Amino acid sequence: MHGCSRLRLLVFLPLLACASQNRPVRLPPQHSGALPTPSWVVLRGGARVSVDNGLFDPDSIVGTQSGGKRFAVPRDSVVFVEARDVSASQSFKALGWVAMGLLSALTLVLVSAMSEFN
């Protein structure tokens, strides 16, 4: 059985604290433009494809999938497109809670150690 090392916790806590959510990307019907990077294109069959450097026009959506593979689909086969939105204020709030938890744990350890010496 492998325990979780302290180093792993220190490395992954900031990653867990990042507050993000996926938001829908509005694609006006008769317009062309760029998609945020990365974006996720959800197709009619239910497939969810990550797309970098995406572009859309009234007929299609094109871009690059992971690994450099070209992605192109007709617009009528797309249910919706979404992009990741990272909230700095939510991330700082989450990091504050993590810091408070670590400070509380450290305080408990110190109080416990002090009581052993008395």
Looking at the structure, give the CATH architecture of the domain made up of residues 21-85: Roll (2.30)
Q: Angle CA(64)–CA(66)–CA(68) in degrees, nearest 5?
A: 55
Strands 60-64 and 39-43, by their bridges, are unpaired
3-state secondary structure of 45: coil
Q: Which residues pair with 52 in a beta bridge?
A: 64
**Nearest alpha-carbon partner for 78 in 59, 94, 97:** 59
Q: What is the pLDDT along the chain (118 residues), one digit of tens a residue?
A: 455 566 566 655 555 555 566 777 887 788 888 888 888 899 998 898 889 889 999 999 999 987 889 999 999 899 888 887 666 666 677 777 778 888 888 888 888 888 877 6
Domain ranges of the chain: 21-85, 86-118
Q: Which residues pair with 20 in a beta bridge?
A: 86
pTM: 0.55
Q: Which residues pair with 86 in a beta bridge?
A: 20
Structure tokens at 19: 């507050």
